Amino acid sequence: MDQRLSRRSVLAGIAGGTAASGVALMAGVVPRFAIAQTAGGKVMYRGNGSEPETLDPHKSSGVPESFIQFDLFDGLLIPDGKGGLVPGAAERWEMSEDGTVYTFHLRRNARWSDGTPVTAEDWVFSWKRLLDPRTAAKYAYYLWPVLNAEDASLGRKPMDSVGLAAPDAYTFQVTLRGPTPYFLKMLHHHAAYALSKANLERHGDTFIRPGNLVSNGAYMLVEAVPQSHVKLVKNPHYWDAENVRIDTVMFLPTENLDAELRRFRSGELDFTYEVPLTQTDWVKANLPDEYRETPYFGTYFFAPNMTKEPWKSNRDLRMALNLAIDRASICEKITRQGEQPAYAFTPPGVEGYPLPLPDHAAWTQEQRDAKARELMQKAGYGKGGKPLDLEVLYNTSENHRKVAIAVASMWQQKLGIKVTLNNQEWKVFLDSRDEKKFKDVTRHGWIGDFVDPNTFLELLRSDIGKQNPSGYANPEYDRLMMEANRTQDPEKRAALMRQAEAIVLEDAAVFPLYTYAAQHMVAKRVLNWGDDLLDNHPTRWLDLKA
C-alpha cells in the first residue's frame, strides 16, 4: 500500500470546502470533540494525512483511504486492531486438502447499509470488477493467485474463466491457481472488498458519492468535503452494531504536520496521522503519555526511472547513488522517530524469511562512499567523466522535503552530482510517478498489505504495471517470483523469494533508505488502542472515555 500522505484526487462531484487550520487552545474555549459528544453521541476525530484519492476500494491504493475504508467495509477477514485478523463478512471457511479451494460461509445477518442482504453474488461481481481491465485498478494483480485471474485481468482469457463461484446466496467459493500460503492474510485489504452489485448498477460511476454509497462495514458515508473532512456515521444494519461504541467518525485531512499537531493539542483531534520530525523530541519530553511509536511493516525508498536512460541500462550509476546514501545519518539526524536503516526492500519481521542483505550492508559508510565514487567513474560520470544533473521528485510534506534535501546533499558532496529538488502537489506527483513521467529519481514508500515478503516483491515484477516503482524488468526475477507463488513448502518458497530479492538489490532497482516506525499522538481519552505492525486501527474497536 502506497505511503505516506494520502492519495490522488478528491472525490468526483462533491462540493468543495476549506480545510480548518490548527488553532491554539484558549481559556474558555470548549474543544470541538467535547461539544460533539454532548450533542449527539460519541464522535471521534481522526487526523488522516492528505486528501483521499477515492473511496472506491477497487481504485484506491493509499494508506489514508484504507483507514476510511476499514470503517466503511468488512472484508472476508478484518483486522482486530491489535495485529491479528478475525472473521468479518465470512463467519467461517474451509480449505481443500490440496490448498487450492476456499469455501467462505457468509454471515446471514450481514446487510448493506441500505438494509439489503450481502450475498455471494456481490463478492463474485466485486472481485471480477477489480480484475476487469476496464476498471483500470492498480491493485488488479492483488487477486492474481485466483485461478485464471491474471490472464483475465490482462485480457488473455474471459472473465467467466476466473475461479470464483457462488453455489448459493451465502457461499462464496474461490479456486486458486495453486496453494497460496498467504491467501487468508490478503483478505482484509480494500482490493478484496465486496461492493453492492445492485447499487453499482443503479448509480454507475456515481455510486461512491455520499447518499449513493452503500457499505457493509460498521459505518456508512454521509459527507465528503474536499480539504475539510469525510464524515461517517454508525451503520444501523451492521451485523455487530451493538458492539460499535463510536457513533460518528470525522476523518480530517491535514498535510501540514505542524498544523495537525496544533489541532491535536487544542482538542480538535483524538489522534494524529503522523508526528512532525521537528516536534518529535518536544512531544517525547512534554507529552510522553500521548506519543505512540511502534514498528511499522514498511520501507521508505527512492526509485530511479528505469524506463529512461541513463537509469535503464547503467547499473553502476544506480548502485553508486544507492551506496552514497548514509542511511544511519538520516535515521539519527533527520527522521529520529524510531526508523531503522534499510539495505533490503522487504522490512524485517517476517518469520522464516531472513533478509538477503547485500555485502555492503556490513560495510562502513566510508567504504560505501569509496565504492560509490569508483562506480561513478566506471559509469562514465564524475571526475574525468560527464557531469550529471539529477532531479529528485517528492510530494508536499515537510518530512519528505527534509529527507530529499539530506540525500541531495550527500550526492552533491560525495559524487559531485548537481541535484535539483522538484516538489509537486500530491495529485500531480502521483501522476508523474505512476506514469513514469519523472525525470530521474522519485521518493517512494510502501507499507505491506499483509505480513509477507510477497507484498513488497510482487511490485517489481515487469507485468505489474503502474505499481512497479521503477519500471524494473528482469525475466529471471519474474521467473523466480512466479515459481515462489506456486510453491507451497514454506522453506522452498522463502528461498525463491530471497533469490529474487537478492537480484533486485544487486541491480539497484530501488534505493531502500529506512524501515518505518509508526508515530501517532493519541489522546488519553481514546480507549482500546493497540499496537499493530500494519498500523491498522479500525474505529469499530475503539472507544472514548465519557
Burial label for 387, CB within 10 Å (0-12, 13-18, 19+), is: exposed
Q: Has this prediction a pTM greater than 0.85?
A: no
Q: What is the pLDDT of residue 383?
A: 77
pLDDT at 6: 30
pLDDT computed for residue 349 by the predictor: 86
Residue 165 exposed, middle or buried by CB count within 10 Å (0-12, 13-18, 19+) = middle
**43, 233 in Cβ contact below 8 A?**
no
Q: Alpha-carbon distance 318 to 315, whole Å?
A: 5
- Cell representation of residue 411: 550526492
First to last CA, the chain: 35
Bridge-partner residues for 230, per DSSP? 224, 251
CB neighbour class for 6 (10 Å; exposed up to 12, middle 13-18, buried from 19): buried
Per-residue pLDDT of the chain (546 residues; tens, 9 = 90+): 665 433 222 222 222 222 232 222 222 333 444 434 444 699 999 999 878 889 999 999 888 899 999 999 999 999 999 889 999 999 999 999 999 999 999 999 999 999 999 999 999 999 999 999 999 998 999 999 999 999 999 999 999 999 999 999 999 999 999 889 899 999 999 999 999 999 999 999 999 999 999 999 999 999 999 989 999 999 999 999 999 999 999 999 987 889 999 999 999 999 999 998 889 999 999 999 999 999 899 999 999 999 999 999 999 999 999 999 999 999 999 998 899 999 999 999 899 999 999 999 999 999 999 999 999 999 999 777 899 999 999 988 888 999 999 999 999 999 999 999 999 987 789 889 999 999 999 999 999 999 999 999 999 999 988 889 999 999 999 999 999 988 888 899 999 999 999 999 999 999 999 999 999 999 999 999 998 889 999 999 999 998
Residue type at 320? A
**HEC sequence for 443-507:** EEEEECCCCCCHHHHHHHCCCCCCCCCCCCCCHHHHHHHHHHHCCCCHHHHHHHHHHHHHHHHHH
> What was the pLDDT predicted at 19?
29
pLDDT at 15: 26
Residue type, 94: E
Grid cell 529527507 is found at 403
Instruction: Provide the Cα torsion 304, 310, 312, 313; round to 10°.
Output: -130
Per the CB < 8 A criterion, the answer to whether 449 and 189 are in contact is yes
- DSSP string for 7-64: -S-PPTTPPP--PPPP----TTPPPHHHHHHHHHS-EEEEE--S--S-S-TTT--BHH
- Reading phi first (left if > 0) and then psi (alpha if -120 to 50, else beta), residue 535 is in left
Give φ, ψ of 539 to 5 degrees: -65, -30
DSSP state of 119: -
Question: CA angle, corner 10, sides to 305 and 517, nearest 5?
Answer: 60
Task: Read off the C-alpha cell for 254.
Answer: 491535514
Give the sheet arrangement for strand 101-106, strand by strand: 90-95, 101-106, 171-175, 164-168
448 CB-near residues (< 8 Å, 6+ apart): 1, 297, 298, 347, 455, 456, 534
